[in-house]
Amino acid sequence: MSRIEVDRDRCVGSGTCEALAPDVFEVDDDGVLVVHREEPGEEELDDVRDAVQACPTRALALAD
């Protein structure tokens, strides 16, 4: 099971991750990232990997 890790000091609330994996990530009205599923399902992993790669500040990581 893979687990999403967020470096809150790095996240700038750009919403890139939400655009790529909207079921997993959401930037709330205050610009704070909410992770709906810290352990995404297999069917979500490709989108989550794309989001990890695309984050402009490298705030996301996927740990096994």
The residues of the shown chain that bind ligand SF4, judged by CB under 6 A, are 11-17, 25, 27, 33, 55-57, 59-60
Token pair for residue 59?
A: 């705030």
Q: How far is the CB of 22 from ligand SF4 (least distance, A)?
A: 11
Query: Which class for 50: exposed (0-12), middle (13-18), buried (19 or more C-beta within 10 A)?
Result: middle
Question: At 12, which amino acid appears?
Answer: V
The single-letter code of the amino acid at 16 is: T
Amino acid identity for residue 30 in this structure: D
Question: What is the smallest separation between the CB atom of 51 and ligand SF4, expressed in angstroms?
Answer: 6
Q: For residues 32 and 42, which CB has a smaller minimum distance to ligand SF4 in the complex?
A: 32
Shortest spacing between CB 58 and ligand SF4, in angstroms: 8
